[in-house]
Amino acid sequence: MNLVERLENDLKEAMRNRDKDTLATLRMVKGALQLEKINNKKEIDDALVIDVIMKQIKTRNESIKEFEKGNRMDLVAQTQKEIALLEPYLPQPLSDEELNSIIDQVFAKVQPTGPSDMGKVMREVTPLVKGKADMGKVSALIKERLN
């Protein structure tokens, strides 16, 4: 079963069980998927689902920081619950060893000479780790090695 079907089935299950939190979260994701499909004229597939869910999680993590500044712990708890509902749809994250191994392979292939080759390295690494690792962390690891 692909992610699109799984999302639909989980949405139906949440309706049957009258699980308002899960239902609201999954409807937001479904709405974001439809928006991506319309705006970018893309077909909804697993890659698009992963991209949208990653954006949703990133947005919620940013919201948590703002809610903590405003001392709104009720909203922090709700947002963390939404993140916990979305995370199972993402692929298993890469371990640090796996991530470093991929970066090593790309460095061997590209053979960068300095920080100016950051774009070349990122262009090769991104398709290999997208959806499986935090791109900010990947970028930081590559910058560290280039310097």
Structural domain harbouring 23: 3-89
Q: Average of pLDDT values for 46-69? A: 90
Angle separating helix axes 46-69 and 20-40, nearest 10 degrees: 120
Per-residue burial over 132-145, b = 16 or more CB atoms within 10 Å of its CB, e = otherwise: bbeeeebeebbeee
Shared domain for 71 and 130, answered yes or no, is no
Give the CATH number, domain containing residue 14.
Answer: 1.10.1510.10
pLDDT surpassing 70 at residue 89? yes
pLDDT score for 30: 92
Give the CATH number, domain containing residue 128.
Answer: 1.10.10.410
Shared domain for 77 and 113, answered yes or no, is no
pLDDT surpassing 70 at residue 1? no
pLDDT score for 124: 87
pLDDT in tens, 116-134: 888 888 888 888 888 788 8
Shared domain for 100 and 83, answered yes or no, is no
- Select from 89, 110, 130 the last residue of a domain: 89
pLDDT in tens, 102-120: 988 888 888 888 788 888 8
Shared domain for 66 and 121, answered yes or no, is no
pLDDT score for 119: 87
Number of structural domains the chain divides into: 2
pLDDT surpassing 80 at residue 35? yes
| Average of per-residue pLDDT values in the chain | 89
Shared domain for 76 and 120, answered yes or no, is no
* Interatomic CA distance for residues 25 and 4, integer angstroms: 15
Shared domain for 11 and 44, answered yes or no, is yes
Beta-carbon contacts of residue 9 (< 8 Å; ≥ 6 apart): 1
Q: Which residue has the higher pLDDT, 29 or 95?
A: 29
